[in-house]
């Protein structure tokens, strides 16, 4: 259980402390607790438990809960409150926790009788883990927690949604796709949840269709496969329209369209394009634009059935030969590229990367491309601060793996106290801060803003600058119990990577990228 303690949960936490097989992972702030749980849930593909302290703790964690909701992380979040008997008093810290949690969770409820406590918690696990997954919140009043219950303690039941459409619906999808001359595929994290990477790749090869990631933050297709074109933009709808506008057939699987901050209000698809959408989240299918074939079904068996239908229709599979070697950085390579290339050379098999590098991410994945399921997790949902605690959660889930979290100097300062948790629990996760002394993503976005409005370029707003005063990340890490090193030039990289990987505890690299 990831959490930060409070008075109204004290009796519960006192009991937890005496359970031999129960580990309480202490965070110094609620955002950190949720972010660690998010990383843990993603690395295990299972539920994670978070404890918050009443309304103030829930309020602190709202932003990261939003990220968990957008990313479909199966979190079970509990928060205590003083007690049902005090409802009418409107006393200190009183708040409507369910109303607070509802906009950022899949389901939110409150237990008001001890005889329903375990039933509600079982339901919470079930809802969180049933596709489309998502965070669930349960308010637990102190007097309910302190009371005895005769409920039996039994595991929750998670229903299977491994469904495939009836054959006539699969045939409709085949008819829409098999004779396409300019097909494209848009994939999202529903592929990873369904373990459908192989099936997606097979269909892409049959259609000879380029594949674009949309709300795509895990390994949904080998990044170096020749048909994998990378990510669509997440900011501006016009960027997506340039990619999809010429396609005569579109297959959307395991995602929604479109996740940009500034999406187009008109459909970016060609008027004559045939669109097939497969997902277990019926709300997201045709949410914004009509589709021709809408299949609420599990991507894995449905893509397998679609592949069989395409084969029968004459689309012969053409498996690609996928090979990759670590490229050699050029003489003008950035320090991020030099570092990523060196990490790729020195890292052991099964390296797990938690990526919140943002503007430095393209340089990083160029040398550390995601290739195996479960080895790459990217930030999602728009909340900064996931990189360090997310890597800690992944390390808890995968103690045998080398886990490296990348974040920016701005993002790191949202949750820097997570380093203390890594030191306290002796978690040998590694952290790289891509330090460019500013919110560089905002620089890029405002340049687009100026261009769209014919505003002449000028100095970036001073509020984007993080250089005054200089943050000493190594000393800051040391104060939280974590060793570290600053890297300012390429000649320091090889030794820094060696030192990071050989260190037996958590370790931080302050990588000067700007």
DSSP-assigned beta bridge partners for residue 295? 278
pLDDT, position 405: 98
pLDDT tens readout for residues 51-107: 999 999 999 999 999 999 999 999 999 999 999 988 888 888 889 999 999 999 999
Task: Report the mean per-residue pLDDT for the chain.
Answer: 95
DSSP type of residue 102: G
pLDDT, position 52: 97
Locus of tokens 């992380």:
73
Percent of all residues in the chain with a pLDDT value above 90, rounded to a whole number: 90
Mean pLDDT along residues 374-380: 95
The answer regarding whether domain 167-313 maps to CATH 3.40.50.1220 reads: yes
In this model, does residue 198 exceed pLDDT 90? yes
Domain borders along the chain are: 2-146, 167-313, 335-512
Using CA atoms, how far residue 115 sits from 136, 142, 464, in Å, is: 20, 14, 53
Question: Do 2-146 and 335-512 have matching folds?
Answer: yes
pLDDT, position 403: 98
How many CB atoms are located within 10 Å of the residue 126 CB? 16
Rounded to a whole number, what is the largest CA-CA distance in the chain? Answer: 72
**Residue 234, SS3?**
coil
Mean pLDDT along residues 262-281: 95
Q: Are 461 and 446 in contact (CB under 8 A)?
A: yes
pLDDT, position 408: 97
Which of 397, 447, 449 has the alpha carbon at shortest distance from 427?
397
pLDDT tens readout for residues 401-422: 999 999 999 999 999 999 999 9
pLDDT, position 235: 85
pLDDT tens readout for residues 471-480: 999 999 999 9
pLDDT tens readout for residues 304-339: 999 999 999 999 888 888 889 999 999 999 999 999
Cα atoms in the Cβ-side hemisphere of radius 13 Å centred on 27: 28
Percent of all residues in the chain with a pLDDT value above 70, rounded to a whole number: 100
Q: Which residue has the higher pLDDT, 321 or 354?
A: 354
CATH class of 335-512: alpha beta
Confidence of residue 5 (pLDDT cuts 50, 70, 90): very high
pLDDT tens readout for residues 157-172: 999 999 999 999 999 9
CATH class of 2-146: alpha beta
pLDDT, position 46: 96
Mean pLDDT along residues 38-53: 97
Which residues are CB-neighbours of 90 under 8 A, at least 6 positions away? none
Q: Are 30 and 383 in contact (CB under 8 A)?
A: no
pTM of the model: 0.95
In this model, does residue 276 exceed pLDDT 90? yes
Strand duo 48-52 + 107-110: pairing = unpaired
**Residue 7, SS3?**
helix
Q: Give the integer Cα–Cα distance in Å for 383 and 501.
A: 28
Q: Are 506 and 427 in contact (CB under 8 A)?
A: yes
Which residues are CB-neighbours of 470 under 8 A, at least 6 positions away? 437
Least confident range of 81-90, 425-434, 435-444, 458-467: 81-90
pLDDT tens readout for residues 218-256: 999 999 999 999 999 878 888 899 999 999 999 999 999
């Amino acid at each position: 259980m990831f959490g930060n303690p409070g008075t109204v949960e004290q009796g519960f936490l006192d009991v937890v402390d005496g359970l031999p097989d129960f580990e309480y992972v202490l965070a110094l702030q609620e955002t950190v607790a949720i972010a660690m749980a998010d990383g843990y849930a993603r690395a295990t593909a299972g539920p994670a438990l978070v404890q918050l302290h009443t309304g103030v703790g829930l309020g602190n964690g709202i932003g990261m809960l939003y990220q968990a909701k957008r990313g479909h992380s199966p979190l079970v979040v509990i928060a205590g409150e003083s007690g049902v008997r005090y409802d009418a008093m409107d006393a200190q810290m009183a708040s409507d926790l369910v109303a607070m949690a509802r906009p950022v969770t899949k389901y939110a409820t409150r237990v008001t009788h001890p005889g329903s406590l375990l039933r509600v918690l079982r339901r919470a696990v079930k809802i969180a883990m049933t596709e489309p997954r998502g965070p669930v919140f349960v308010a637990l009043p102190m007097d309910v927690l302190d009371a005895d219950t005769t409920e039996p303690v039994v595991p929750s039941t998670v229903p299977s949604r491994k469904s495939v459409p009836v054959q006539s619906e699969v045939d409709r999808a085949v008819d829409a796709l098999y004779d396409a001359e300019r097909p494209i595929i848009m994939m999202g994290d529903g592929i990873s949840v369904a373990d459908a990477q192989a099936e997606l790749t097979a269909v892409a090869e049959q259609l000879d269709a380029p594949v674009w990631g949309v709300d795509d933050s895990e390994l949904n297709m080998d990044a170096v496969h020749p048909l994998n074109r990378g990510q669509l933009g997440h900011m501006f709808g016009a960027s997506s329209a340039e990619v999809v506008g010429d396609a005569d057939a579109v297959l959307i699987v395991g995602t929604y369209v479109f996740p940009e901050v500034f999406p187009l209000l008109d459909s970016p698809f060609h008027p004559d394009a045939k669109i097939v959408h497969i997902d277990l989240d019926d709300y997201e299918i045709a949410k914004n634009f009509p589709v021709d074939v809408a299949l609420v079904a599990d991507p894995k068996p449905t893509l397998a059935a679609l592949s069989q239908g395409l084969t029968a229709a004459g689309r012969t599979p053409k498996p690609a030969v996928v090979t990759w070697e670590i490229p050699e950085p050029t003489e003008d390579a950035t320090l991020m590229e030099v570092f990523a290339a060196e990490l790729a050379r020195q890292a052991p098999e099964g390296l797990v990367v938690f990526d919140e590098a943002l503007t430095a991410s393209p340089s990083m994945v160029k040398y550390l491309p995601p290739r195996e399921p479960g080895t790459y997790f990217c930030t999602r949902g728009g909340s900064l601060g996931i990189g360090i605690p997310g890597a800690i959660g992944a390390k808890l889930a995968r103690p045998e793996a080398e886990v490296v979290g990348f974040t920016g100097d701005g993002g790191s300062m949202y949750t820097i106290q997570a380093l203390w948790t890594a030191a306290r629990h002796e978690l040998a996760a590694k952290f790289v801060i891509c330090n460019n002394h500013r919110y560089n993503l905002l620089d890029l976005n405002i340049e687009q803003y100026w261009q769209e409005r014919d505003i002449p370029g000028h100095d970036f707003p001073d509020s984007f600058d993080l250089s005054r005063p200089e943050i000493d990340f190594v000393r800051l890490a040391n104060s939280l119990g974590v060793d570290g090193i600053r890297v300012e030039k390429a000649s320091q990289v090889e030794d820094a990577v060696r030192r990071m990987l050989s260190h037996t505890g958590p370790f931080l690299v302050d990588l000067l990228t700007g």
